Every structure is written in structure tokens, then in C-alpha cells.
Amino acid sequence: MNKSYLYYQNRKPHKNNENSFYKKFLKQIVLCILIVLLVILMKNIHSPITNKTTEMIKISLTKEMDIKKSIRGVIKYAKEIPKMPEKVVNVFSDFSGKKDLQMEFAVPVKGDIISDYGEKVDPISNIKTFQRGVDILIDKDKNIKAIADGEIIEIGEGKSLGKYVKVKHSHNIISLYADCSDIQVKKGQKVKKGEIIAKIYRHNTNAYLHFELWVDGKVVDPEKYIPFDRKIL
């Protein structure tokens, strides 16, 4: 029998080569994830520190490296970034449409949501409208409470909002409470989370509180931040 044939028949697969390939492949995957995260953070930052970090990543892509050492290096340089712009720090929350406010809010009034935030289409006229907040149905006279500590910046009355109150909170947040029956605060007054700022009366017909939440000058979906009751939609 041919000796070379016996040699290849008895020869076992070289596991070291396979393990080496998979380890290298895994390293590349982990590194790619790191690259995506860092590029997002540093896309608007140009400094020697961030440029050095980017260059290190490029080199690591083309060379065999110690993955743990590379991660430590990336973290080291990232920590030395002097000051990240707020829009870069908050970029991760943009993917979900929710900014991390690092705050816990109180519910302004308990009740069922009968109209939620977002674009609406009138079934009769087929006209599109945009609901800037939520409408909360009440079943009896209730107190309206501030969702967080803040300052009363505006009190008014309008055709679409009725009697309303605006409260400015930290992190450039503004809450608006509309269709109130009786305002209990004054402009410039400081209020605490859960403090009564207005009242709403049911009378003989259905009444609801229109509530809006603004962050950095833009209206957002309140249901992403506040634990409201169940909905009736």
C-alpha cells in the first residue's frame, strides 16, 4: 500500500490551526463592536487623544493583538477625553428615541389615557394631526401634581389648552398641564415633586388632563418617561 496514502489516512486534523482561526475571528468581532461604540462617541470630537485612539483601532484591525490589552488601551484613552459635547454623550439614547434623563417622575394625575402622543388621522376628514402629549381621563375631581421639582414659569389660558401651567425642571425639561379647572400656584413659585399645582373637576361630563413633556426644547412622548395607568384607545 502506498505509504503516503497511509500517512494521510492516519493523520488527524490540526486543531491548533482551527482554534487559532476562531480566536482571531472572535477578536475581530469584539473589536468591531468597540469601533462602532467609539466612533459614535468621538464622531464630533477632534483632539490628539481621540485621534490616537482611532489610529490604535486601525492598527489593531490589521495585526494580531491581545484583545484584553486592546480593550484596556481603548478605555484608557477614552477616559482621558477632556470634555464630551452633550450631544455625543447622549447619542446612544437617540437610537431608542429616549434620552436618559436620570430622573424618576411622578404621575401628574391618575387616570386612563384616552389619546396618546403622535400623529393622528381623522377618520372622517382624513386630515393628519399631531398630538403633542397625552390626554388623561378622570372619573372624579382630582389634584394635578408636579412630576418633579421645578419652578412655575408660565400660567395662562387659551382656546386650545384651557387653563394651563408650565413647570421648568432640571436637565432642561418642561412639563405642561392643560385643561385644568383651578390653578393652585403662581408664576415664579418653586414646587416639589408630587406637590399639588392645580385641580381638575369632572362636573357632569367627561374631563381630562392634557399633559406634555418637553426636553431640550423638543416635545417628547411622555409615556416613555412616566409610568401612567392603563390606556383606553
**Closest residue by Cα to residue 100 from 110, 108, 92:** 92
Q: Is the pTM of this model over 0.85?
A: no
* Residue 36: φ, ψ to 5°: -60, -45
**Closest residue by Cα to residue 134 from 46, 194, 208:** 208
Q: Residue 128: its pLDDT value, please?
A: 85
Three-state SS at 126? coil
Rounded CA separation 89/109 (Å): 33
Mean of the per-residue pLDDT values of the chain: 76
pLDDT band at 87 (very low <50, low <70, confident <90, very high): very low
CB 118 within 8 A of CB 106: no
pLDDT digits (tens, 9 = 90+) for 155-194: 999 998 999 999 999 999 999 999 999 999 999 999 999 9
DSSP-assigned letters across all residues of 154-177: EEEEETTTEEEEEEEETTTEEEEE
* Residue 51: φ, ψ to 5°: -65, -40
pLDDT digits (tens, 9 = 90+) for 136-145: 999 889 999 9
**Closest residue by Cα to residue 176 from 148, 211, 204, 151:** 211
